[in-house]
């Protein structure tokens, strides 16, 4: 299977799976999100949010393709661009971290380790931007696709809990103090990342825990 990563932009926003394309769970605070849902403006709000983020900060999402078909995605951004964070009991996030907000692997591609590839791509980009870590909120009662990552998945790909909670712990992947990636995995990510951020100089080494070599649940 041919795999590639592309940045999330307005051009490929429509390739996100339903209902993720129009979901504004992270992009708006709870009150504004309810108002947008009542007026049917969630799709436009999503576009406006992404457009502003691209202008202010640059690419903050990746879409993973398998044989030219969208297979999954991940969205990440500084905490200031994700108003929903304030509603979590384990907020705020650390100032040296970017938030891995949400993502999904389409059902037909589960079990292939693609969730791991998405997290590796995010970690590599975040490190290049000068941040020390990626943080995420988990769902410890996850029972199906939603807007929050399953806690078990985050643990499987190297995150550790920094503030515990029975439902929504906050987890962290420290990019500078974890174990070095296996060389073959880093090379694979480099090939995929060429579509996101081409470079003419060798990239700085990225590190994650050994758990990144294990296959997550998706």
- Record the pTM: 0.81
- pLDDT (tens, 9 = 90+) of the chain, 218 residues, equals 799 999 999 999 999 999 999 999 999 999 999 999 999 899 999 999 999 999 999 998 999 999 999 999 999 999 999 999 999 999 999 999 999 999 999 999 999 999 999 999 999 999 999 999 999 999 999 998 899 999 999 999 999 999 999 999 999 999 976 544 434 345 545 555 444 444 444 444 444 444 344 444 44
| E strands, the chain, in order | 3-7, 61-66, 69-77, 97-105, 133-139, 149-150, 160-163, 170-174
Give the contacts of 41 (CB within 8 A, at least 6 positions apart).
none
Beta bridge partners of 99: 77, 135
SS3 assignment, position 57 = coil
Q: How far is CA 177 from the centre of its chain?
A: 20
Q: Evaluate the omega torsion of the peptide bond into residue 176 and state whether it is cis, within 30 degrees of 0.
A: no
Name the pairing type of β-strands 133-139 and 97-105: parallel
């Amino acid at each position: 299977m041919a795999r590639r990563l592309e940045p999330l932009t307005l051009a490929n926003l429509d390739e996100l799976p339903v209902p993720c394309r129009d979901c504004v769970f992270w992009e708006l605070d709870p009150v504004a999100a309810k108002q947008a849902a009542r007026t049917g403006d969630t799709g436009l709000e999503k576009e406006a949010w992404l457009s502003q983020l691209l202008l202010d900060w640059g690419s903050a999402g990746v879409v993973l393709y398998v044989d030219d078909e969208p297979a999954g995605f991940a969205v990440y951004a500084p905490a200031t661009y994700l108003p929903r964070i304030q509603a979590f009991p384990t907020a705020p996030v650390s100032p040296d971290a970017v938030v891995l907000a949400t993502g999904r692997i389409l059902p037909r591609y589960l079990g292939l380790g693609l969730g791991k590839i998405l997290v590796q791509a995010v970690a590599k980009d975040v490190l290049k931007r000068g941040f020390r870590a990626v943080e995420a909120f988990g769902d410890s009662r996850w029972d199906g696709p939603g807007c929050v990552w399953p806690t078990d998945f985050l643990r499987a790909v190297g995150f550790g809990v920094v503030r515990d909670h029975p439902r929504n712990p906050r987890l962290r992947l420290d990019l500078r103090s974890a174990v070095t990636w296996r060389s073959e995995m880093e090379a694979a990510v480099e090939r995929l990342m060429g579509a996101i951020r081409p470079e003419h100089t060798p990239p700085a080494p990225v590190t994650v825990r050994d758990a990144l070599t294990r296959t997550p649940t998706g």
